[in-house]
Structure 1
Amino acid sequence: MAAVRRGVVACPGCSGQMLVEQRLVVDVAADADFAASLARGDLFFFTCRRCHTTLQIPHPVLAYHPDTLPKFLFVGERGSHQRDNLELALELAGTVIGSGPVQIAHVDLSTLAGVVAGPWAARPSQPAADDVTDVPPPTGTALERLSALYQRIGDPNDDERLDENIALCRECLDLLAAEGAEFVDPAALVNILGPLYFTLRRSRAKRLLDSLRGSTVATVREAQRQLEELGAECDQAADPVQWAEIQSLRGTAHLRLGELGHRDEYAAGRALIESAVAVLAEHRPKTESLWAAAVNNLALAAFYGRESGDDVELALAIWHRLEEQWTEPGDIRNRIALMMNFDLAYSVRTEGTREENQRRGIAYLQAALEMIDGAAQPFLWGMVNNNLAHTLTRVAWGDRATHLEAARHHLAQAESVLTPAGSPVEWGMLQANFGVYYAGCQTGSHVDNIERSIACFGRALGVLTKADHFPYWAYAEIGLASVLLERGRWGGEGRPREAARRLEEVLAAPEIAAHGELRFRAHYVLGSARSQLGDVEEALANYRQGAALLRPESNPLEWGVIHSTLSLALRERAGGDRAADLDEALAAAEQAVQSIDRAAHPMEWGMVCYNKALIHQFRVDGGFAEEGDQALAAYEQALAILTPATAPTLCAGIATDLGTFHGSLGRWPEASAAFGVAVEAYEASYGSTELGRSRATEVRQVGVGYSLAAYAAVRCGDLPAAITLAERGRARTLRESLGHPDLARVAEADPGAHAAYRDADNRVAEAERLLRDVWIARGGVTPADVQSWENNLAADAARARRDRADAAARIRLLPGFADFGASPSYPSILRAAGHVDALVYLLTTEWGSVSLIAGEPAEVVFHEGVRFADLAALVMPGEGEDGLLAGQLFGSARFRGLLGTLAGSPFARVGHELGQVLRRRGCHRIAVVAFAPWNLLPFHAIAYQGRSLLDDFEVILPPSAQALSVCHARREAAGPASLLAVGDIDGVPQAAYEIAAVTAEFGAAVVGAKPELLARPAGVDHVHLACHGRYSLTDPLESELGLGGGTLTVREILDLRLFEDVQLVFLSACQSAISDVLDARDEAVGMPAACIQSGAAGVVGTLWSVADTTTALLAAEFYRGSGHPAARLRAAQLWLRDVTAKDVLARLAGKVPRDLVGLPLMDPSERPFADPWFWAAFVFIGG
């Protein structure tokens, strides 16, 4: 039994997979934080790295201290039989002391926490269980016992000892009741202890109501019970002030329940407080603080129980009257509460302008901060900062960016004092406010900010619950749903179904009826989620319900935003009167633009202009050609605000749509200019990202934008610019990690610059390794810990990237290194093209496909009629249909037939048209940078009019020109060839035959399994892997090879730099050449790119599942050949295609494997492997 246990569980927050590590055996002496983790209660809480949600998973724990061995403390598996727990405890103890005798003390969690944190840890040399003792009861006469008990009662104002003091006071009263005859004047003693007992219990009830301490429905209900007991003990006639105070507190309890979603409690609370105010007013100024608190709460009852704006005005009138009449300046806490209530009321007031009301609320909070001594009252100071930040994030006037940064300042102040343990509700709201800040933040990477926002809302929901904190919980749920949708909108992994589920739960709660603004937000975001899911009618219903809750004069921003979104939903509506829908959509879009103040909300105004442009564009496509100029004007208005500098992610998407619109109208110079803006924005957005997953999100969009820009440049006649754009958008993450082919020469020219570059490059690689590593959730690691770790790691990576860029700039100053580390340029592409006879970029757009041939001059081949939609339908057709990708991954029955239909098709004509030009140019070896989805097609092997590219050319498929150069430089440094062959002998029937066949062609060969591969002998520069392969569609980094002795994943290859100095990796495995075409169309994310990134000069892989014996035959023929790997692969493929049954039998020397049992029965001249299914899957990637 190991000391830790790992398992995969589903995260309840984001539905992702968490790898959880449970500590089963703990050395208390070595783990100083164990006791504290037990005391905090977070030992059994595990945090998701993705969304920072915490999941409670109780598990067994065996604790020990070296000085107490062989004694152990053990908490068993919940619900397990005691015998099973004993066996588990003994097994775990054996990992510490072997087979010797042990003493197991079974305890529950609370006992374990007390023992470990207390005497056992403090005096480890003593037996653990015997150290837990209570204070002995007092002895002696009744008076002596009473005196001893009374002296143990601490400071009545000591909140930490409140429960203990109540218990001691109760013991004193019980002793007086039982043995009163022993005292001279027991009534006098009761008169002393009785009020103290009452005061202590009142303080306990107030503590249960305190929102700073995280009051919940359960704690408030308990406070109500206690206050009713206290109320029954009060005599209104004898002590009216005491009675009024309890009445006020009982009313406050009803208010708390109302705030927590039980709206029907407000009326009862209001009645109780009114009765208290009447009494307390008669006894002013002695009761000034109590009276002020009661009046404050009376106004709150009117405010929270409001049925209309009149109730808000009533509450404000009461508070203003209280402000005027209050005569106790020293009552800071109540005055601060009053000021926060003013902000609360002014934030929802409908009388007057919104700016005027918000300014008043902010002024009150700023005045409150000036009154508070942050050191003396940290919780109060933090709460006011939190509230002020909340208001600033919702400001509807002035410069939004300025207000957001002011909010960030106050959030940081609040964060310095509010903790999840000390003030869980306020801390949860602080995290939710951080989520709102990051969602709207206009600085840094938008994608980074969305990820941070998701994490913040996840932390908020870790402490805010529906049952106990309804409005706060709903606020965080709506915020999280909103940013989950925003993530998907800009290329990340959006979760509209999860967002819809969360919002439906919010709107289904009866408590939501009391919260109009939350209802509006929930309907608005739910409409967006349903729109993304294609439920247009339901989305429209939500938008209309949300809009009905607003008035344009009171909520111009929200009103404008929801009408803008409503217009887009009307555009997508399939049923109903189409013309009427489009008219309503245009009217809503125009109303939105008019409603929002451009100066106050430039970002929102820019977005509604963009939406209006989309409506006009759609109407142009629907026959309203005259609206084209209006669409272009709206696009220009949006891009005047949302620029590459101010909002790069938003700008990139809008400019891409504008360029596409120009392209659809044949305005290619205008399209090229718009795509140029998009490219500039992509560069700015990608450059500002720090988080690893955010950079992955950015590259999903980059290649598409560059492809469109390249196509527009082609249509404008600028082929060098088109080729340069294509290269810049291709395999960006691989480009960053490959370094530079001239790095070895840099060491000779400037050793210091070389060392600085290598050091920074290694730090980048290490940071990226840590960011992509599988996250192991460990107990006690809090969301704040995860956030801090990620922030520090992202900062380290950003710092390393800057250092690498600085070192590259220094190197570029050296003679002969002007292009080092710079963005690809046409001259650098031409240098790469010099390694082959032709360097070709094959890309596709919605207007068609082109082949761009780099050179002087450059050349273009147009492939009319082959659009991206055509390729997408081939690779991934509609639901229920088998496409090329499904066949490649799962081997569908239709795949072989589908592959056969490609011969003579328009897709095959692309290779034919390219081949005609390349033959005219006298080419023999070509490199084709194939953009998605071309990189999934064996386009080089598909015959058209009886011939394919492979018949005439050696074909290399490099991820980019830079990769071609780097791989070429690695290949030129080759020494004598030596092979390591690794096969899954048990899993692949013909692996042994294949290994024997390929090693026979090498003079120096080593055969092994995964351990031998990981410890590759020096000098081995060829690696042949004969095994099963599996491409992971959902996580390409988890794509794996099933080797003898274990699996090998893409993540391991990258982390270990497994193929440093390897000339060739032959991946004789299924699906080993597939790249991520779903999330990163023009990146190179898969097994071949990982091999190159980890040091290999070239890779042979397969595009689909291949037959074992034919693979072995092809591999043996490959190694029998000589020359460039592309030449050898071409020769082996053509040999396999053309070989006769007679020649195959001769090659097998009479040993016919099971999958070729029919071969001897064939006509000797028949070609058994002529079908491309057998040989076309193999491709060479590298240089």
Structure 2
Amino acid sequence: MHRAQLRRSEQELWLSAARGLHTSAAYALVRAARPSALRRAVEVAELGRARGLGETLARDRSDLSIIERQYPDIYERYRAAAEVVRSLERTDRATTDRQDEAQPSFTELANRIRAARADLDAAIEAIRAIPGYEAFLRPPTYAEIAAAAQPGVPLVYLITTPQGSLALIVPDGNAEPEALLLDEFTENDLKNLLLVRTGDEVVGGYLPGQLLGGKMLETALAMALPILGERLIAPLAQRLRALNATGVTLVPTGLLSLLPLHAATYRIDGSSRSLLDEFDVAYAPSARVLAIAQREQQRRAAKGVRLAGVGNPTGDLRYASAELHSICDLLPPAATTTFYEQAATRSAIWSALGESTIGHFSCHGSFADDPLDSALHLAAGDRITLRDLVAGDTTALSNLRLVALSACQTAITDFGRLPDESIGLPGGFLQAGVPAVVGTLWSVNDLSTALLMHRFYELHLHGDDAAGLAPQPPVRALRLAQQWLRDLTYKEMFDYFQRHRQLKAVRQHNSASVQVSGVRMPSALIEVGRALAEEYMLDHPNNRPYANPICWAAFTFNGAMEGAA
């Protein structure tokens, strides 16, 4: 039925109407306990995740190099048909809510899409007739899903239904999946965490807290994280320990995808723990999207590190420029291209991204009622919207290995109609081919963000000699940076800034001809952070100013894990 809908908007209406169908079916299959039911449950859960994103990526980024060499006519037929469909989809995305006389009518556009889809289907069938390509663009089998898992890093679908919850664990190597029935947590329990009501009035909960921040979010997290941890995450963590896992890629379904599951707390031997304390944690919209991200990661791996970034383009984020300065100081000057305040226009950053492997956005972000209008806010009223990423020309992003969205609300997805479709900025960058995206689930204090981002890049690009750490893969660098910020005391914070102050002085004494990287951060960040730590250090040296999850848990790693820089 989804495939039968012509326009993308009609497909999304169908997906909205069918919401929860695949998760309920997967849960029922596990409950049936029949032979091969677990494999089929995984296939059904995958089928319900990120249909639009997965199908678009599979169509546009499949590896057809062998067909191109051996069957050039078939390849060209497919390429041309796919380009026509892609162009019409962009037109559909751009015109759904913007009809005017210059745009094609609904009937005309529908007819053109129908004809283009027929040509594309015929080209796909021609490819499927080639030995070894019989399954081309068909829904993934269990073996194909399991191929996205990595040694020590299983794929885990998290499902919540009215009857209870379920974790489907998919190990690497096409081994048999496992199912954890978690019936102490139901869909109703989830809804009660998302919205707290007094009568008909919404008075709290994670969803309003996520959008409004402040005390409402603190209260919501204090309620939600222990419940999620004990009822949902603790049994999963126990099983991951038994499997000797070092990491996990979570595929949360439905409204679970809105939550910081990596920060959900549970008790071990009387101590509080979260997934971040035990494992590298990545999120993926689906196994199909993850597999394509992994391929893109390998394709882009040979290029040296080069960063393009924007800092404080709207001029009202106190530490955003210092954040970007501190990150760039970890790289040789020739490896960075930066735009600050009014220079940070869309055209400027877009042109610089084409030569870069990392894109860093230290700016405001927003989630809109129409998710396609969710945006990164740049100078002079410019924006990069989700619509630009899914309906525009994104060839400028073709070398990026990582995008870091150090901005507010950049990892929120469409929770109103299509929570399983990953319609948000991380999904948009993944659709554009970027294999990994760091985003935020809510607005974050920009000083704590500057600290966390500096530590993230410090660990990724250089490691930490004092801690015996080599340069870390991005997913682990983010995890360690979050732990570091959470556990940082005022005394340790003072020492950290004091060390960077001394390193800066050493660098300034060096000859101008000597390149020294990774040894300091800007004075603005050093002196403000040092003064804040000094103010509280004498009376409260062991207090942790950023221990509250509101300061660090918003950051999520989305997409393919990779090696260090």
Into which bin does the TM-score normalised by the smaller protein fall?
A: 0.7 to 0.9
- Runs (4+) off by over 4 Å: 774-778
Between the aligned partners of 1:1013 and 1:752, the Cα distance in structure 2 is 38
**Alignment of structure 1 residues 225-304 onto 2, 5 Å:** none
Q: What is the Cα deviation at residue 943 of structure 1?
A: 1.5
Give the conservation status (yes or no) of the 8 Å contact 2:323–2:450. yes
Counterpart code for 2:327: V
Q: Which residue of 1 aligns with 2:484?
A: 1135
Q: What is the Cα deviation at residue 700 of structure 1?
A: 1.3
Q: Which residue of 2 aligns with 1:980?
A: 308
Counterpart code for 1:872: K
Q: Which residue of 1 aligns with 2:413?
A: 1075
Is 1:759 the equivalent of 2:85?
no
- Whichever of the two has the greater Rg, that structure is 1
Counterpart code for 1:716: A
Give the one of 294, 312, 315 matched to 1:968: 294
Between the aligned partners of 1:790 and 1:1000, the Cα distance in structure 2 is 52
Is 1:1035 the equivalent of 2:370?
yes
**Alignment of structure 1 residues 50-199 onto 2, 5 Å:** none
- SS at 2:105's partner residue? helix
Q: What is the Cα deviation at residue 998 of structure 1?
A: 1.1
Q: Which residue of 1 aligns with 2:389?
A: 1053
Is 1:1175 the equivalent of 2:552?
yes
Q: Which residue of 1 aligns with 2:512?
A: none
- SS at 1:1077's partner residue? coil
Q: Which residue of 2 aligns with 1:863?
A: 182
Is 1:926 the equivalent of 2:245?
no
Between the aligned partners of 1:1119 and 1:845, the Cα distance in structure 2 is 39
Distance change (3 Å), C-alpha of 1:999 and 1:1130? same
Between the aligned partners of 1:744 and 1:1157, the Cα distance in structure 2 is 57
Per-residue Cα deviation, 1:589-635 (whole angstroms, up to 9, x for no partner): xxxxxxxxxxxxxxxxxxxxxxxxxxxxxxxxxxxxxxxxxxxxxxx
Q: What is the Cα deviation at residue 844 of structure 1?
A: 0.6
Q: What is the Cα deviation at residue 931 of structure 1?
A: 0.7
Question: Percent identity between the aligned chains?
Answer: 33
Between the aligned partners of 2:322 and 2:253, the Cα distance in structure 1 is 36
Q: What is the Cα deviation at residue 983 of structure 1?
A: 1.9
- SS at 1:940's partner residue? helix
Distance change (3 Å), C-alpha of 1:814 and 1:1044? same
Q: Which residue of 1 aligns with 2:29?
A: 713
Give the conservation status (yes or no) of the 8 Å contact 1:1029–1:1070. yes
Distance change (3 Å), C-alpha of 1:814 and 1:1123? farther
Q: What is the Cα deviation at residue 1014 of structure 1?
A: 1.9
Distance change (3 Å), C-alpha of 1:700 and 1:904? same
Q: What is the Cα deviation at residue 977 of structure 1?
A: 1.4
Q: Which residue of 2 aligns with 1:993?
A: 322
Distance change (3 Å), C-alpha of 1:1119 and 1:819? farther
- SS at 1:832's partner residue? coil
Q: What is the Cα deviation at residue 1128 of structure 1?
A: 1.5
TM-score where L is the length of structure 2: 0.82
Q: What is the Cα deviation at residue 1103 of structure 1?
A: 0.7
Q: Which residue of 2 aligns with 1:822?
A: 138
Is 1:1102 the equivalent of 2:440?
yes
Counterpart code for 1:768: E
Counterpart code for 1:1007: T
Q: Which residue of 2 aligns with 1:1066?
A: 404
TM-score where L is the length of structure 1: 0.40
Per-residue Cα deviation, 1:119-168 (whole angstroms, up to 9, x for no partner): xxxxxxxxxxxxxxxxxxxxxxxxxxxxxxxxxxxxxxxxxxxxxxxxxx
Q: Which residue of 2 aligns with 1:1021?
A: 357
- SS at 2:403's partner residue? strand
Between the aligned partners of 2:534 and 2:551, the Cα distance in structure 1 is 15
- SS at 1:866's partner residue? coil
Give the conservation status (yes or no) of the 8 Å contact 2:170–2:177. yes
Q: What is the Cα deviation at residue 820 of structure 1?
A: 2.1
Give the conservation status (yes or no) of the 8 Å contact 1:835–1:968. no
Is 1:955 the equivalent of 2:281?
yes
Between the aligned partners of 1:976 and 1:1141, the Cα distance in structure 2 is 37
Distance change (3 Å), C-alpha of 1:960 and 1:687? same
Give the conservation status (yes or no) of the 8 Å contact 1:928–1:958. yes
Between the aligned partners of 2:534 and 2:8, the Cα distance in structure 1 is 52
Give the conservation status (yes or no) of the 8 Å contact 2:257–2:419. no
**Alignment of structure 1 residues 585-664 onto 2, 5 Å:** none
Q: What is the Cα deviation at residue 1137 of structure 1?
A: 1.5
Give the conservation status (yes or no) of the 8 Å contact 1:706–1:726. yes
Between the aligned partners of 1:963 and 1:1048, the Cα distance in structure 2 is 22
Between the aligned partners of 1:1079 and 1:1178, the Cα distance in structure 2 is 24
Give the conservation status (yes or no) of the 8 Å contact 2:124–2:136. yes
Q: What is the Cα deviation at residue 1074 of structure 1?
A: 0.6
Structure 1: which 5+ residue stretches go unaligned? Answer: 1-684
Q: Which residue of 2 aligns with 1:1007?
A: 338
**Alignment of structure 1 residues 455-854 onto 2, 5 Å:** 685-717=1-33, 718-739=37-58, 740-774=61-95, 775-776=97-98, 778=100, 781=101, 789-834=105-150, 837-854=153-170
Give the conservation status (yes or no) of the 8 Å contact 1:928–1:955. yes
Root-mean-square deviation (CA), in Å?
2.2
Distance change (3 Å), C-alpha of 1:793 and 1:991? same
Q: What is the Cα deviation at residue 1093 of structure 1?
A: 0.7
Counterpart code for 1:1161: Y
Between the aligned partners of 2:475 and 2:438, the Cα distance in structure 1 is 9
Q: What is the Cα deviation at residue 1124 of structure 1?
A: 2.7
Between the aligned partners of 1:898 and 1:1155, the Cα distance in structure 2 is 31
Give the conservation status (yes or no) of the 8 Å contact 1:692–1:794. no
Q: What is the Cα deviation at residue 691 of structure 1?
A: 2.9
Q: What is the Cα deviation at residue 744 of structure 1?
A: 4.0
Distance change (3 Å), C-alpha of 1:863 and 1:1060? same
Between the aligned partners of 1:1143 and 1:795, the Cα distance in structure 2 is 65
Structure 2: which 5+ residue stretches go unaligned? Answer: 460-470, 502-522, 561-565
- SS at 1:686's partner residue? coil
Between the aligned partners of 2:557 and 2:257, the Cα distance in structure 1 is 12
Give the conservation status (yes or no) of the 8 Å contact 1:941–1:1176. yes
- Higher share of residues assigned strand: 2
Q: Which residue of 2 aligns with 1:1153?
A: 528
Distance change (3 Å), C-alpha of 1:1111 and 1:816? farther
Q: Which residue of 1 aligns with 2:463?
A: none
Q: What is the Cα deviation at residue 1155 of structure 1?
A: 12
Q: What is the Cα deviation at residue 777 of structure 1?
A: 5.3
Give the conservation status (yes or no) of the 8 Å contact 1:1099–1:1181. yes
Q: What is the Cα deviation at residue 914 of structure 1?
A: 0.2
Highest RCO, 1 vs 2 (Cα 8 Å, sep ≥ 6): 2
Between the aligned partners of 1:776 and 1:1178, the Cα distance in structure 2 is 34
Between the aligned partners of 1:996 and 1:1129, the Cα distance in structure 2 is 19
Give the conservation status (yes or no) of the 8 Å contact 1:984–1:1042. no
Between the aligned partners of 1:980 and 1:831, the Cα distance in structure 2 is 33
Deviates more, 1:923-932 or 1:1139-1148: 1139-1148
Between the aligned partners of 1:1047 and 1:750, the Cα distance in structure 2 is 42
Q: Which residue of 2 aligns with 1:62?
A: none
Give the one of 195, 201, 208 matched to 1:876: 195
Counterpart code for 1:1111: T
Q: What is the Cα deviation at residue 1016 of structure 1?
A: 2.6
- SS at 1:976's partner residue? coil
Between the aligned partners of 1:1155 and 1:793, the Cα distance in structure 2 is 60
Between the aligned partners of 1:1047 and 1:863, the Cα distance in structure 2 is 42
Q: What is the Cα deviation at residue 1154 of structure 1?
A: 8.3
- SS at 2:330's partner residue? coil
Q: What is the Cα deviation at residue 1158 of structure 1?
A: 6.3
Between the aligned partners of 1:710 and 1:970, the Cα distance in structure 2 is 30
Give the conservation status (yes or no) of the 8 Å contact 1:730–1:1083. yes
Deviates more, 1:998-1007 or 1:758-767: 758-767
